[in-house]
Amino acid sequence: MKKVILPVIAFCIVAAMLVLFGGMGGRDKISAFGSTVKNPNTIYIGVYEPLTGDYKQGGLNETLAIRYANTVCPTVDISGATYEIKLIEADSASDDIGSADAARSLIDSNVSAVLGSYGAKITAAGLPEFGANGIPVVGISCGSQPATEGAASYFRLCSTDEFQSGVMANLAYGMDLRKAAVLTQTGDEYSKKAGKTFAEAFKKLGGEVKEYSFQLGQQNFRSLAADIAADDVDFVYMLSGASEAKYFLKQSRGEGLTCPILGPESWDSPLLLNDVTVDFREVYIASEFDSGSDTDPESVEFSGRYSSWIGRDSERIAQNGGNNYTSTAAAMAYDGYMLIVEAIKAADSKDPQAIAAALRSLKYKGVTGTISFDEKGEAVKKQVFIKTIDTSSEKFEVLQISTVGK
């Protein structure tokens, strides 16, 4: 009797395993031996962002929007077949070694294209790896041209540091401000170069510049603010992320620094809208997206949908920076994902080089405007929104709109 039962049990086990794996359908399958069997009708997009470390908040802002875009557009058709789009996320951390390792992990995952990264140093560490393997990278918020110089198949969505410096220098000079305090990050060559670019632009207009430094992740700015106030400058231009900016803004007014404070596009962040006080007065940034634009219903619609998606989940709210604000980085990250999808369609292929070729000739209407690239992979620029923080409504407010480029 036992001789009959054992073969029957063995047969049932095998049959159950066939049903289990067969029922997984088009999803990636894990074999009984632990190895991954890739679904041929899946295309992989890499997300190269810092999810830990000092650049974490910027990386999370962009990653959240990429995840949201994937829920909006989870598939793409290639040669008449529908492919599922899966995101492969790699934590690019905040150092050269971690960033390069993250890039290699995405390459090993056979991604067809990559989105990211927040931070010039991180971007620079990963680009040689992607370039050597012919994988296109759509950059979201890294404005540093020195960090991407010579990179193959790199496409920058945001404006360059040179472009932003020109805009902010003109803004300050137009406000009759003549003496600038320029704050850059100690030990970061890309922050220093961005500061130098602004200084050159402002001096060319006839302004004067005094240089100061801060540390990445610094939280106490009282002594620095007091030193700047003692030098009697007309304004501050601080090249930092929103994490450092929120501490500087809260502390500087108490140290007697009453002048206008200007910041880069990275300040267009949910972090600066938490616990807004009168200390946040006279803060100015140049941005490329306005979530409340009267002239662009698509931007307003996107912002409403995205903010609602963020607001439905407490973890997403925390990752976004404590509220459901739609930042410029989020809007550009969403556009970056959709741009890659359009390139896949145009190439009718998941081959990285075919996608890169398609990106070079694409013209795409996104939520941040019409996107196309020049021969260097730089986005042909569009509109710039000069924003301030309304301390009453605790929201960003657009003061003026400048049209640049075509």
pTM: predicted TM-score of the whole model, two decimal places:
0.89
The residue whose two tokens read 């540091």 is 161
Residue 272 forms part of a structural domain: yes
CA 68 – CA 337 distance, rounded (Å): 10
pLDDT at 248 over 90: yes
Q: Which domain, by its residues, includes 395? A: 161-287+385-403
38 pLDDT band, cuts 50/70/90, is: low
* Cβ partners under 8 Å of residue 80, min gap 6: none
Q: What angle do CA 308, 313, 314 make, to 5 degrees?
A: 120
Residue 29 forms part of a structural domain: no
CB 65 within 8 A of CB 106: no
Q: Are residues 261 and 393 in the same domain?
A: yes
Q: Are residues 189 and 265 in the same domain?
A: yes
Q: Are residues 175 and 268 in the same domain?
A: yes
Residue 28 forms part of a structural domain: no
Q: Are residues 82 and 118 in the same domain?
A: yes
Residue 15 forms part of a structural domain: no
CA 266 – CA 217 distance, rounded (Å): 15
39 pLDDT band, cuts 50/70/90, is: low
Q: Are residues 123 and 108 in the same domain?
A: yes
Q: Are residues 70 and 142 in the same domain?
A: yes
Q: Are residues 118 and 101 in the same domain?
A: yes
Share of the chain above pLDDT 90, in %: 82
Average pLDDT over residues 374-381: 90
Q: What is the average pLDDT value for the chain, to the nearest integer?
A: 89
Residue 266 forms part of a structural domain: yes
The sign of the dihedral angle between the CA atoms of 16, 20, 21, 25 is positive
Q: What domain count does the chain have?
A: 2
Q: Are residues 367 and 391 in the same domain?
A: no
Q: What is the CATH number of the domain that holds 136?
A: 3.40.50.2300
So what's the pLDDT on residue 383?
75
Residue 225 forms part of a structural domain: yes
Average pLDDT over residues 244-255: 95
Radius of gyration of the chain (CA): 24
Q: Are residues 138 and 58 in the same domain?
A: yes
CB 138 within 8 A of CB 113: yes
Average pLDDT over residues 241-259: 95
Q: Are residues 174 and 267 in the same domain?
A: yes
* CA atoms in the 13 A half-sphere facing the CB of 289: 33
Residue 140 forms part of a structural domain: yes
Q: Are residues 268 and 393 in the same domain?
A: yes
Average pLDDT over residues 318-333: 96
208 pLDDT band, cuts 50/70/90, is: very high
So what's the pLDDT on residue 28?
38
So what's the pLDDT on residue 376?
93
Q: Are residues 228 and 313 in the same domain?
A: no
Average pLDDT over residues 26-43: 50
Residue 391 forms part of a structural domain: yes
CA 181 – CA 242 distance, rounded (Å): 18
So what's the pLDDT on residue 142?
94
Start-end of H helices in 75-179: 96-108, 120-132, 145-148, 161-174
Per-residue pLDDT reduced to its tens digit, 183-207:
999 999 999 999 999 999 999 999 9
